[in-house]
Amino acid sequence: MRERAQSWRELLVDIKARGLKVPPEIAVGDGAMGFWKALDEVFLGTRHQRCWVHKTANVLNKFPKSMQPTVKADLREIWQAETRTAA
């Protein structure tokens, strides 16, 4: 139930009711689709950003354990790059 859009919507509406007057510019999440759907309904225009910790873990799970340290280092270079071109 906690990953459904309805649960996220209730949480976000409650945050607004408790005083959040300005919509967030960006929201970071683990990729749960319910969160993004509710966010678009409650805070239209807030940009989405996937959490790099969760993204990295998902990518590493697709590689053999022997390759994971190298892949993890490569991914770290990407997200720490100064520019999109450098990434």
pLDDT at 31: 78
pLDDT tens digits, residue range 5-50?
999 999 999 999 999 989 999 999 987 889 999 999 999 999 999 9
Domain ranges (residues) in the chain: 1-50, 52-87
Token readout for 34 is: 């319910």
Closest C-alpha to 41, from 8, 87, 17: 8
Q: Is the pLDDT score of 4 beyond 80?
A: yes
Average pLDDT over residues 51-57: 93
User: Distance (Å, rounded) from C-alpha 25 to C-alpha 32?
Assistant: 19
**Better pLDDT: 1 or 10:** 10
